[in-house]
Amino acid sequence: MRWIWFCAVFCLMANPVWGQEKAKAVDPMKLRAHYVQALNMVKFGMDEEAISELKKCLEIDPNFAEARFELGKSYCRTGRLDEGVSEFKKVLEIKPQYEGVHYELGLVYYDKDMVEEGLSLCKEYLKDRPQDGKMHSLAGVLFIKKKAVPEAISEFKEQIELGHHPELGYVNLGMALAMKESWDEAITAYKKALELNDRNPRAHYQLAVAYEKKGLKGEAQKEQAIYKELVGKQ
């Protein structure tokens, strides 16, 4: 009996994976082929087909962060926000600094009205990367949804200062100022947006609203007409 026991122990030591499932070897060519196919599907708006290809990638390598990131985005585009959140969180587990995943996850939080989760994500991210204007913009719209106007104004000003789509930043800043009925400041913000792009329909529309609130009927009608013309050409 001792001899049998010794043989069993010796075999386990010599073969440490004995009795366990061997890890599958990753086939990089096959992995790449499925991933490229998925990206091509996305280009043509074929998200369901892309999801199928991305799942095949993850069958080969569950830690393929790029595939999980694209899968999360495809889920979100097809309305499966919970699945999207799950994939983005897995990306963060695999690669905590993965480019773009914080922003995408924050957008889903916004869509799901998970404002506090979104703001917590932005705060944590901006602690190490305060120069990211995109995340300041996201934080701003989350604060707007929370009706935390002063904080939203601060974030949009930061976005503008950092040069991240300042045209959009000025429009959002104007809308935040309008929420506290600072119409003169809001008008100034909308005008700055139009200095950067005088064919921005959203800026013209919001400017018309601000003029209306100020009792400037003529200016409001002019901006409304420009807005209708621009929208009609789209």
Residue 149 contacts residue 180 (beta carbons within 8 Å): yes
- Of the candidates 56, 17, 65, 15, the residue with the CA atom closest to the CA atom of residue 33: 56
Q: Which CATH superfamily is domain 166-234 in?
A: Tetratricopeptide repeat domain (1.25.40.10)
Where exactly are the structural domains of the chain? 30-95, 100-164, 166-234
Sort residue 24 into left (φ over 0), alpha (ψ -120 to 50) or beta.
beta
Structure tokens at 130: 């305060």
pLDDT value for 53? 97
Sort residue 215 into left (φ over 0), alpha (ψ -120 to 50) or beta.
left
**Residue 184 burial class via C-beta count within 10 angstroms: exposed 0-12, middle 13-18, buried 19 and up:** exposed
Digitized pLDDT (tens) for each residue of the chain, 234 residues in all: 444 333 443 344 444 443 344 456 778 999 999 999 999 999 999 999 999 999 999 999 999 999 999 999 999 999 999 999 999 999 999 999 999 999 999 999 999 999 999 999 999 999 999 999 999 999 999 999 999 999 999 999 999 999 999 999 999 999 999 999 999 999 999 999 999 999 999 999 999 999 999 999 999 999 999 999 999 866
Q: In this structure, which amino acid lies at residue 28?
A: P
- Of the candidates 146, 148, 190, 145, the residue with the CA atom closest to the CA atom of residue 169: 190
CATH top class, domain 100-164? mainly alpha
Q: Which of helix, strand or coil describes residue 123?
A: helix
pLDDT value for 233? 67
CATH top class, domain 30-95? mainly alpha
Q: Given this chain, do its domains 30-95 and 100-164 carry the same CATH topology?
A: yes
In this prediction the pTM is 0.84
DSSP notation for 191-216 = HHHHHH-TT-HHHHHHHHHHHHHTT-
Q: In this structure, which amino acid lies at residue 110?
A: Y
